[in-house]
Amino acid sequence: MSALAAGDRRRLSGPASLMLVAPFVLVLIAVFCWPILQLLSASLFDPDFTLRHYEQVLTSEFTLGVFLRTFRVSFLVACFALVVGYPVAALMRSLPPMGAAIVGACVLIPLWTSVLVRSFAWTVLLQRNGVVNEALQGLGITSGPLSFLYNEAAVVIAQGHVMLPFMIMPIYQSLRAIPDELPRAALSLGASRTAVFREVIWPLSRPGVVAGFLMVFIVTLGAFVTPALIGGPRSLMLATLISGEITENLNWPLGAALSAVLLVMVMLLIGLFSRFLRFGRVEM
């Protein structure tokens, strides 16, 4: 059997292996590399070679403020999803397989609904005559309607709800990989439940936490629908700014430069986080 396997490897080590990989490489070039080259070309030629669009992106106080707001909101969304998602993942881990499957289905069902529909639902909930304001007034907590829409807090809550599945599932997979014997052994040796979580469960679940945090953070950096509907013009984020430059101002080079800077920042973040991820383990 080993001789046959070695022969197969030798046969696939030459042109045959290149033929197998070629379709995937062509697809990658078509759907990823070529659009990025077009993006860079649009940002550098207007029509002659120029760097003034990048200079405008990196020196404009307005643009830098939008970048700062986008990163701040993305970080807060990731923190919100972590605080809400970790207990849900822990609950799924503690349930029997059928119960975990039901909770997992409830977590994933919102992904079947359009982001636009979910954002409109949050608009209905948070508006001045919405369910939240009516509940607060009915309980006597507030004497009048409060303004929950068109601010960063509303964007964090609504976008955090959209991103919850991307945080819960990686954490759940990390928790599932922890053997039941480890917490039991720690408890049998006299450790409190708080100590077991701090010294055993949390360190072993950090790969899922880091993966989920990174996924939520990066996806939120490019979020468009929810910030545009919930945040409004006062909470302008980068994707909304790029869309406005391209579709309203017809300033394609500036929009391409904004997109290119965001792409570089995301790649740097992925490289930074990858230093903490080594074959499913987090070095911290």
> Which contacts of 20-29 are long-range, i.e. CB under 8 A and separated by 24 or more positions?
none
Residue 248 is predicted with a pLDDT of: 86
Cα–Cα distances in angstroms (integers) from residue 231 to residues 18, 98, 235, in the given order: 49, 39, 5
Q: What does the pLDDT look like over 244-259, one tens digit per residue?
A: 998 888 888 999 999 9
Within a domain: 105: yes
Residue 202 and residue 271 in one domain: yes
134 token code pair: 């009516």
- 74 within 8 A of 217, measured Cβ to Cβ: yes
Residue 15 and residue 96 in one domain: no
* CATH number reported for the structural domain that contains residue 90 in this entry: 1.10.3720.10
Residue 141 and residue 39 in one domain: no
Looking at 12-60, list the stretches that DSSP marks H as alpha helix, in order from N- to C-terminal side.
Answer: 15-28, 34-44, 52-59
pTM: 0.83
Residue 141 and residue 102 in one domain: yes
Residues near 5 by beta carbon (within 8 Å), at least 6 away in sequence: none
Q: What does the pLDDT look like over 148-196, one tens digit per residue?
A: 888 888 899 999 999 999 999 999 999 999 998 988 898 888 888 899 9
Question: Domain residues for 32?
Answer: 1-44
CB atoms within 10 A of CB 283: 8
Residue 187 is predicted with a pLDDT of: 87
Residue 47 is predicted with a pLDDT of: 80
Residue 36 and residue 90 in one domain: no
Residue 92 and residue 222 in one domain: yes
Residue 156 and residue 190 in one domain: yes
Residue 230 and residue 184 in one domain: yes
74 token code pair: 């993305």
Our measurement of the distance from residue 249's CA atom to the centroid of its chain's CA atoms, rounded to an integer in Å, reads: 28
277-278/281-282 β-pairing: antiparallel
- Residues pairing with 282 in the sheet: 277
> Which contacts of 255-260 are long-range, i.e. CB under 8 A and separated by 24 or more positions?
256/39, 256/40, 256/42, 256/43, 256/53, 257/43, 257/53, 257/54, 257/56, 257/57, 258/57, 258/63, 259/39, 259/43, 260/39, 260/40, 260/43, 260/54
Residue 40 and residue 64 in one domain: no
Residue 110 and residue 11 in one domain: no
DSSP secondary structure, 136-168, as one string: HHHTTS-SS----SSSHHHHHHHHHHHHHHHHH
Residue 79 and residue 18 in one domain: no
Within a domain: 49: no
Number of domains in the chain: 2
Residue 29 and residue 90 in one domain: no
Residue 275 is predicted with a pLDDT of: 73
Mean pLDDT in runs of 10 for the chain (284 residues)?
49 66 81 84 85 90 93 95 95 91 88 85 85 83 80 90 93 92 88 89 90 92 90 86 88 91 88 66 45
